[in-house]
């Protein structure tokens, strides 16, 4: 039986609902009523609704569903609840635990042989400009830059007191790499045994993207912050595409070795490209990223594999439809 896609109502849900409709796959949108309201405003989006909150949501989904995880699901329902849930998940369930801690996240990138920024174990080690990050899919919220160990410890202790952080060691302290960011989106198909490049985006972050336009005196006193507000599409020079594809292939191989059966469906490798055109990978997401929304009318790269415009949302529905038709749902869910 063709399952319905169960999607948390936020993040990239419009894209998945729209894509599933084009592939003739049903969608159950779930979440609190205030999040669900948005989707009923668009007449051509078709879906069923389950109104629910937090971890309790997963118990409301039937066996006829396949969860399509997104960043909001991981942040608001939590990877622990997802790990416990018996509802099939399109993707590699075990990857979410790896993603939940900065230590294991960076270990997996290194396991893939990718270039990563220097990581500092504690504030006192810091001897250069660093970016300090909170765990979880918070869209850059709370990140800051500093080259001062005392300031870093003081701010992190403040986060612990405010309950934003369990312990200082849960934050990531990474060398600040100068270059432009590029978020590379991929889709690994276990059915076709093929990695597809699906696109690239750049985040539009407040206030760091506004500082260049701020009056000089303000720039001197305001610290950088990295709250994601939106995304832009970006097209790397063609000569870089092969390097990006090889990085994606190495990541697929690493997840196969370390977390069998390996990554399934969409994922993202987040990197900075330096002026020497070196790729430095500072993070990954083992699921659809909101940056794929920039291709709501179809990714030009996916069209090169499929001969027609295709969003990542539609690509997910297509893989599930193909798996269902071939009786291979077990190969694309965990």
Number of Cβ within a 10 Å radius of residue 223: 12
Residues linked to residue 240 through DSSP beta bridges, in sequence order: none
170 binds ligand AMP (CB under 6 A): no
120 binds ligand AMP (CB under 6 A): no
Sheet holding 119-120, edge to edge: 119-120, 172-175, 130-133, 144-146
Which residue, 87 or 272, has its beta carbon nearer to ligand AMP? Answer: 272
The residue behind tokens 């069923």 is 48
174 binds ligand AMP (CB under 6 A): yes
Cα-Cα-Cα-Cα dihedral sign, residues 41, 47, 49, 55: negative
> In the stretch 71-110, what mask flags binding to ligand AMP with x, by CB under 6 A?
----------------------------------------
Contact by Cβ (8 Å): 13, 39? yes
Q: How far is the CB of 109 from ligand AMP (least distance, A)?
A: 12
Structure tokens that stand for 48 in this block: 């069923």
Residues linked to residue 194 through DSSP beta bridges, in sequence order: 189
Q: Which residues contact 310 (CB under 8 A, 6 or more apart)?
A: 19, 298, 299, 302, 303, 318
Q: How far is the CB of 202 from ligand AMP (least distance, A)?
A: 8
Which residue, 76 or 226, has its beta carbon nearer to ligand AMP? Answer: 226
Contact by Cβ (8 Å): 82, 95? no
List the one residue out of 4, 52, 3, 55 whose CA is nearest residue 28.
Answer: 4
Name the DSSP class of 62: -
Cα-Cα-Cα-Cα dihedral sign, residues 117, 122, 127, 130: positive
Q: How far is the CB of 200 from ligand AMP (least distance, A)?
A: 13
177 binds ligand AMP (CB under 6 A): yes
One residue of 77, 131, 184, 264 binding ligand AMP per CB under 6 A: 131
Rounded CA-CA distance 143/165 in Å is 12
Rounded CA-CA distance 283/285 in Å is 7
Which residue, 57 or 177, has its beta carbon nearer to ligand AMP? Answer: 177
Q: How far is the CB of 114 from ligand AMP (least distance, A)?
A: 13
Which residue, 73 or 272, has its beta carbon nearer to ligand AMP? Answer: 272
Which residue, 85 or 181, has its beta carbon nearer to ligand AMP? Answer: 181
Stretch that binds ligand AMP, among 19-27, 73-81, 154-162, 171-179 (CB under 6 A): 171-179
176 binds ligand AMP (CB under 6 A): yes
One residue of 11, 35, 185, 203 binding ligand AMP per CB under 6 A: 203
- Binding footprint of ligand AMP on the chain (CB under 6 A): 117, 131, 133, 140, 143, 174, 176-177, 181, 203, 205, 226, 270, 272, 282-283
């Amino acid at each position: 039986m063709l399952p319905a896609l169960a999607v948390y109502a936020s993040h990239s849900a419009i894209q998945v609902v729209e894509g599933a409709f084009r592939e003739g796959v049903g969608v159950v949108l779930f979440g609190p009523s205030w999040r669900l309201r948005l989707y009923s405003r668009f007449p051509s989006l078709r879906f069923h609704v389950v109104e629910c909150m937090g971890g309790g949501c997963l118990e409301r989904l039937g066996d006829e569903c396949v969860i399509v995880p997104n960043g909001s699901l991981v942040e608001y329902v939590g990877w622990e609840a997802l790990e416990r849930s018996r509802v099939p998940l399109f993707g590699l369930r075990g990857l979410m635990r790896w993603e939940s801690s900065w230590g294991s996240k960076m270990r997996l990138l290194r396991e893939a042989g990718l270039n990563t920024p220097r990581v500092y174990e504690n504030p006192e080690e810091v001897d250069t400009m660093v970016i300090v990050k909170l765990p979880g899919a918070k869209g850059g919220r709370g990140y800051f830059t500093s080259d001062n160990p005392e300031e870093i410890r003081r701010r992190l202790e403040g986060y612990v007191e405010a309950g934003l952080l369990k312990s200082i060691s849960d934050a990531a302290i990474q060398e600040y790499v100068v270059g432009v960011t590029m978020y590379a989106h991929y889709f690994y198909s276990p059915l076709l045994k093929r990695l597809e490049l699906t696109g690239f985006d750049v985040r539009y972050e407040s206030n760091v993207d506004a500082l260049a336009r701020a009056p000089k005196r303000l720039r001197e006193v305001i610290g950088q912050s990295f709250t994601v507000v939106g995304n832009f599409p970006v097209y790397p020079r063609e000569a870089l595409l092969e390097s990006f594809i090889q990085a994606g292939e190495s990541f697929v191989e690493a997840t196969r070795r370390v977390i069998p059966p390996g990554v399934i469906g969409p994922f993202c490798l987040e990197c900075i490209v330096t002026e020497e055109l070196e790729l430095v990978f500072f993070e990954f997401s083992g699921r659809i990223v909101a940056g794929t929304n920039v291709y709501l009318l179809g990714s030009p790269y996916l069209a090169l594999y499929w001969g027609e415009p295709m969003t990542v949302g539609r690509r997910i529905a297509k893989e599930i439809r193909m798996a269902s038709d071939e009786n291979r749902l077990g190969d694309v869910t965990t």
